[in-house]
Amino acid sequence: MYRYDSIDQQIVDDRVAQFRDQTQRYLAGEIAEEEFLPLRLQNGLYVQRLAPMLRVCVPYGMLDTKQVRMLAHIARKYDKGYAHVTTRQNIQYNWPALEDVPDILADLASVEMHAIQTSGNCIRNFTADPFAGVALDEVMDPRPYCEVMRQWATFHPEFAFLPRKFKMAVCGSKSDRAAILVHDIGMALTTNDAGEIGFEVFVGGGLGRTPVIASLINSFVPEKDILTYLEAILRVYNLSGNRENKYKARIKILVRAMGAEAFAERVDQEWKHLKGSESTLTAEEIERMKSYFPTPDYREVASTADTEIESLRSEHQAFDRWLTRNTRDHRQPGYVSILLSLKPVGVPPGDVTAEQLDAIADLADKYSLGEVRTTHEQNMVLADVAKDQLFELWQDCKKLGFASPTIGTLNDMICCPGGDFCSLANAKSIPVAEALQRKFDDLDYLYDLGDLSLNISGCMNACGHHHVGHVGVLGVDKKGEEWYQIQLGGDQGKNASLAKVLGPSFSRDEVPEIIEKLLNHFVDNRIEGESFLEAYRRIGHDSFKAAAYA
C-alpha cells in the first residue's frame, strides 16, 4: 500500500500543529464558534448529541496492521474502548474530548493516518472496491489512482469552502462495488480502442434528501488528464453551486438544473484552459503510484488444499456456511478473500472494540500479508488468505466473534449511528437493526432468502444508504415521535436503482412484523432461484404494498 515519504509526513505533521494551534485559540476564545466550525469539521470533528465525534480517514479503505493497532490504542486511550466503521469506509470515534483531538491526530500521524477533510464542505475521502487488486473481475486496480486523487484533493486551496460536501468513488472492476453512481463524482476505469487507460466520469449522483443516480458526462478522460478534468468540474461547481439553500447545494441539484449535457459543456469550456497544464499526470507519477500496489509475493498453495477444504466442509456445517457466505474468489490460485463480519447480533452494526481491532491486526499479520480493508457495508476484509489456512482462520474468527456467516444476507445490515449518537437523527436506527437481527436469526431461513440488503438510516441524510437497499428503512419524525418509512427496490452497482416508498410509516415495534410480511410475500411468490430484488421487480411494488398493509 502507499507509504508516506518525508514530504507527505511533513504535510500531515504541519496539519496537526495547525489544528493544535487552532484548538488552543478556540479554547482561549480567540476564534468564534462559527469560524471554528469548518476548521474542526475539516479535521473530522463533529459535535454530536452526547460528545464530539471524530471521523478518521481510511483512504479507499486500506489499512496496515500498525494502523489498526493505533486505532485500537486510540479507542482505549481517548474513547470508551471501541470504534465504528462507517458507510464510507472510514473509522469513527463517538466519545473523544475536544482538547484531546490534537493528540489523537498526532498519534494518527505517527502511523501515516489523519482525519483531514473527513467532514465539512470540501472534498472527502475517495472510496473504492474493498477487493481492489485481488478481485477476479477487476479490469484495473483503482488504488494507485485513488492515491493520486487523494493527494490532489488534500488541502486543495480552491476547493476547501465548497457549497456543500463532495464525495467521489472509483471503480476498477466489471461489477461496481464502490457505488460510484451515488457519488458526486463516480469514476470507472476503462480503456479506449487504442488500449489507453482512462475514466468514464459520472456526475451528480447522491443519496440524502434528493436521491439521484449520477449522469455520464464523459465516456473517456485519459488517465493523465483526470486531475485537470476533476479541477474543471469542481470549479464549475464552486462558482455556480447554490450557496443560499443548503438543501439545494449539492452538485446533483446543479447538474439537474442545467441538464447533464449543458453541464458537461460548461466543464469542457473550463477544461480547455486547464488541460495540458502542469497538473497533467506524468507517466512516472502513475508508475510510482502503481509501484506501491504490486502483486504480493504469493506462495505456492498445495493443490490438495481444495480437497481438504471439501472434507472439512462436510464435517463442519458451520465452516461450510462461513465459506459460502464470507469468502470471495481471488485472482491468485490457492487464495481467497474473506470478510470479517462486524454484524453479530446485539452489537451496533460496524462497531468494533479495541481488543477486536488488535485481534484483527493479529489475524491480518498471521493470515493476510499484514493488510486489512474496510467496506462500505461496514465489515472488514482480509484480502489475501491462502486456502490451506482457511480452517484455522475460521476457528480464530469464531473465537473472536467475526464469523457470523451472514455476509450479504438480511442480517448483514447497513445501519447509521442514528438517534443514539447523531444529533441530526429523526429516529434511532441501531435498535431497529437489533430487533430485526433477533427476529430473523435462523440461518436456514436467512440463506433461503438469499442475497438481501437491508439498509437503515436515522434521517434523510441517508448515511445508512437506505435508498439503495433492496429494503430501506428510514427514520422520520412525526410530531416529535420516531416513525419509520419502509422503501423497496433499491440497488447499488452498475445498474443502481433508488428504492420506492411503500406507504405511510410505521412505529418501531411494527417494523419487524412488516418486514416479515414483505419477506413472506416474497417467499410465497418467488419463482425458483429468484432473489428478493428480482421478485420485487417482476411482481411489482403494489403487490408488496398490498401485502404490507393487509
Partner 1 sequence: MPRIILDNSVVDDNWQLITESEQADVDISQLAEGNYLVPLSVWNSLVAELTTPPANIGLWLASTELPEQIQGSISEIPVLAIDFPAFADGRGFSIGRLLRERYGYKGQLRAIGKPIRDQLSYLVRCGFNAFDLAEHYDPEEALTSLKDFSDNYQGSVDQPIPLFRRRS
Number of residues that bind ligand SF4 (CB under 6 A): 13
Q: Dihedral sign, CA of 41, 105, 352, 3?
A: positive
Considering only 151, 332, 461, 525, the residue that binds partner 1 (CB under 8 A) is: 151
329 bridge partner residues: 336
Q: Based on the shown chain and the rule CB under 8 A, indicate whether residue 445 belongs to the binding site for partner 1.
A: no
Comparison of 68 and 281: residue with beta carbon closer to partner 1 = 281
User: Is 459 near ligand SF4 (CB under 6 A)?
Assistant: yes
H or E, element range at 215: strand 215-222
Residue nearer to partner 1 on the CB measure, 123 or 452: 123
Grid coordinates of 32: 468564534
- Minimum Å distance from CB 10 to partner 1? 5
Provide the 10 A C-beta neighbour count for residue 52. Answer: 19
Nearest approach in angstroms of CB 102 to partner 1 is 14
Contact region with partner 1 (CB under 8 A), list: 157-165, 314-322, 326-334, 498-506: 157-165
On whether the CB atoms of residues 179 and 496 are closer than 8 A, the answer is yes
Site string for ligand SF4, 424-443 (x = CB under 6 A): xx------------------
Between vectors from CA 235 to CA 116 and to CA 464, what angle results, nearest 5°?
50
54 binds ligand SF4 (CB under 6 A): no
Stretch that binds ligand SF4, among 94-102, 258-266, 394-402, 422-430 (CB under 6 A): 422-430
Using CA atoms, how far apart are residues 139 and 191, in angstroms rounded to an integer?
9
Q: Which is nearer to ligand SF4, 46 or 335 (CB)?
A: 46
281 binds partner 1 (CB under 8 A): yes
320 burial class (0-12, 13-18, 19+ CB within 10 angstroms)?
A: middle
CB 292 within 8 A of CB 1: yes
DSSP state of 418: G
Nearer Cβ to partner 1, position 246 or 538? 246
Residues with Cβ within 8 Å of 269's Cβ and at least 6 positions away in sequence, in order, are none
State how far the Cα of 306 lies from the Cα of 243, in Å rounded to an integer.
59
Of the residues 52, 349, 418, 490, which one makes contact with ligand SF4 according to CB under 6 A: 418
Q: Which does 425 bind (CB under 5 to 8 A by kind): partner 1, ligand SF4, none?
A: ligand SF4
Task: Please name the amino acid found at residue 92.
Answer: Q
Query: Quick check: 7 binds partner 1 (CB under 8 A)?
Result: yes
Alpha-carbon Rg for the chain, nearest whole angstrom, is 23
Q: Pick from 240, 279, 389, 461: which binds ligand SF4 (CB under 6 A)?
A: 461
Q: Is 309 in the site for ligand SF4 (CB under 6 A)?
A: no
Sort strands 454-457 and 471-478 into parallel, antiparallel or unpaired.
parallel
Residue 31 contacts partner 1 per CB under 8 A: yes
**Strand ranges of the sheet holding 215-222, from the earlier edge strand across to the other edge:** 123-128, 166-171, 185-191, 197-203, 215-222
Which CB sits closer to partner 1, 286 or 435?
A: 286
- Site for partner 1 (CB under 8 A): which residue of 110, 279, 353, 525? 279
Dist. CA 536–CA 499, nearest whole Å? 11
Q: Are 100 and 23 in contact (CB under 8 A)?
A: no
Element (H, E) at 454: strand 454-457
Q: Binding string to partner 1 for residues 217 to 236, with x set by CB under 8 A, is what?
A: ------------------x-
Could you say whether residue 379 binds partner 1 (CB under 8 A)?
no
Which residue number, 101 or 352, has a Cβ lying nearer to partner 1?
Answer: 101
Among residues 35 and 448, whose Cβ is nearest to partner 1? 35
Q: Which one, 1 or 424, has the nearer CB to ligand SF4?
A: 424
Helices then strands, each counted (H, E), the chain? 18, 20
Say how far apart CA 176 and CA 468 lie, in whole Å. Answer: 13
> What is the helix (H) or strand (E) element at residue 286, kind and residue range?
helix 283-291
493 binds, among ligand SF4, partner 1, none (CB under 5 to 8 A by kind): none
Strand partners of residue 199: 189, 221
Question: Binding pattern to partner 1, positions 107-126, x when CB under 8 A?
Answer: --------------x-----
158 makes contact, choosing from ligand SF4, partner 1, none, with CB < 5 to 8 Å by partner type, with partner 1
85 binds ligand SF4 (CB under 6 A): no
For partner 1, which residue of 47, 136, 239, 262 counts as binding (CB under 8 A)?
A: 239
Which of residues 50, 81, 97, 161 is near partner 1 by CB under 8 A? 161
Distance in angstroms (rounded) separating the CA atoms of residues 544 and 550: 10
Which residues of this chain interact with ligand SF4, rule CB under 6 A?
A: 416-418, 422, 424-425, 457-459, 461-464
